[in-house]
Amino acid sequence: MRTDLFDFDLPPERIALRPASPRDAARLMVVRPKETPQTEDRVVRDLPELLRIGDALVVNDTKVIPARLSGRRIGRGEEPKIEATLHKRLDGSRWLAFVKPAKRLQQGDVVRFGDEGKVCFLGQLDATVEHKGEAGEVTLAFAFHGAVLDQAIAERGEMPLPPYIAGKRKADERDAADYQTMFADEEGSVAAPTAALHFTPDLVARLVDTGIALHKVTLHVGAGTFLPVKAEDTAGHKMHAEWGEIDQATAAALNDVRARGGRIVPVGTTALRLLESAADETGRVLPFCGDTDIFITPGYRFRATDLLMTNFHLPRSTLFMLVSAFAGLDVMQRAYAHAIATGYRFYSYGDACLLHPAR
């Protein structure tokens, strides 16, 4: 499909720079493609009454690491500043990263991140450019390994706010808490599964009391989620792979939900992409552990998703393509026009919507 079909104009003031407080006070647009009117304006705390007894929410329990590092190239003449955003761990000492300016780096170069650490023996954190790929992506081989490397990154790194927020303000101490969900447990993401940012302990308790289950899966979100689709046709876009896991007990529990007539409701596109990667042709969720680069566009047949809770996404993004595949492109174009006209807040710290399927 043509990429420009997924474009729309968004006023800059609609981009949320801070989350709602409390989190479940965020607005929630309910979109029902088969009904008139198609949209209903609610708030996230209404979620228990918008779902049914026996439904199951699926949240992503990944934890965001402070993956944005600032440093300089050393050992080759001048020492230009280098910004790196880690986005996928390869092993105990190597990460894939997006760097700026990529043109200042060559294979074999060394980048030094920080001159002093909070732990004296760390001193500085050096990384060698092991491989240089496309679109500013490099493979960094760090001098430290395992837990020591994790500690060094935590000391020097900043919260990797999305570019549409980072371009307007710097990350601060509030973001360390604001940009983590209450379910964050498994370290490895460089972007938050933002639909789950709206949940509070009180909301979860009310959902459980209502008879709505909550299950956890893990998908470590990479910075590739922010990359625009530059190809003129969606067929020309290459998705970055992300690592995810669904254990056997969770897969069995979700299959039981459906067997009893309940619905599977992923909280966010990350949970949805993992579920769809793990499901077989019959819609049965299988245990999963590994990478997924699934790219969902209109025409895709959803197998393991009955409803979807998600935030409002970027124009021409893979995520807007995904929600258009789920609820219908024309429906989502009208829903987003309504959201813009009525003051919904967009993107990571913005409001949410609850989508029913097109068919």
Residue 82: predicted pLDDT: 96
Output phi, psi for 216, to 5 deg. Answer: -115, 140
> Domains in the chain and their CATH numbers?
3-64+176-355 (3.40.1780.10), 68-157 (2.40.10.240)
Structure tokens of 37? 């009117």
User: In the predicted model, is pLDDT for residue 116 greater than 70?
Assistant: no
Buried/exposed 221-258: b ≥16 CB within 10 Å, e otherwise: bbbbbbbebeeeebeebebbebbbbbeeebbeebbebb
* Average pLDDT of the segment spanning 109-135: 78
Integer Cα distance of 163 and 218 in angstroms? 24
140, 125, 130, 136: which is closest to 93 by C-alpha?
140
Buried/exposed 49-85: b ≥16 CB within 10 Å, e otherwise: ebbeeebbbbbbbbbbbbbbbebbbeeeeeeeebebb
DSSP assignment of 145-156: -HHHHHHHHHHH
Distance (Å) of CA 30 to CA 293, 312, 328: 28, 12, 14
Residue 118: predicted pLDDT: 46
Residue 238, C-beta contacts closer than 8 angstroms, at least 6 positions apart: 293
Answer yes or no: are the C-beta atoms of 109 and 82 closer than 8 Å: no
Identify the three-state secondary structure at position 100.
strand
User: In the predicted model, is pLDDT for residue 122 greater than 60?
Assistant: no
Structure tokens of 91? 């092993």
User: In the predicted model, is pLDDT for residue 202 greater than 70?
Assistant: yes
Chain mean pLDDT for the chain: 93
Tell me the pLDDT band of 262, cut-offs 50, 70 and 90. Answer: very high
> Which residue would you say has higher pLDDT here, 10 or 120?
10
Distance (Å) of CA 67 to CA 95, 150, 153, 164: 10, 10, 7, 17
Whether omega before 298 lies within 30 degrees of 0, making that bond cis, reads no
